[in-house]
Amino acid sequence: MRVSWDEYFMQITRVVASRSTCLRRQVGAILVKDRHIVATGYNGAPRGLAHCSEVGCLREQQGIASGERHELCRALHAEQNAIIQAAVSGVSIKGATLYVNLFPCSLCAKMLINSRIQRIVYSADYPDALSHALLQEAGIELVRHIPETTEI
């Protein structure tokens, strides 16, 4: 059976997430325009720097709970890396859809709003009330994806 476009792109986010070097969460993001992938991103250290999987998690070492003090993490979020990849490649993401396996945090939400993303499809929720409020206020369509299939 042929899967829907949302299912197709959400399955790809799982493959993208498998490149993550984060010790806490493996997140994959895809920016799509007109049913074409224009950028991808996963959470990990900036280009050329040691990965958390190599040097350990700074936030874990300092006893910082997951979801708090994002600025103390050496990694970029998947959404940030996807936005940066599009910018470096000179690709506009205005009007695009973001597919991501974890709902964006408030830092990423603000970047997505200013990038003029129109729609976000996500599979797992993230406990960040501000993020939800900002994205809703911006009029971005939020879609919680329920998998049609577990196979890839």
- Catalytic residue annotation: 79
Q: Which residues, listed in sequence order, are joined to residue 44 by a DSSP beta bridge?
A: 76
Measured distance CA(14)–CA(145) in Å, rounded: 13
Report the helix count and the strand count for the chain, using DSSP H and E. Answer: 6, 5
Q: Residue 148 burial by CB count (10 A; 0-12/13-18/19+): exposed, middle or buried?
A: middle
* Amino acid found at 30: I
Measured distance CA(114)–CA(117) in Å, rounded: 8
Whether 97 and 31 have beta carbons less than 8 Å apart is answered as: yes
Measured distance CA(131)–CA(34) in Å, rounded: 26
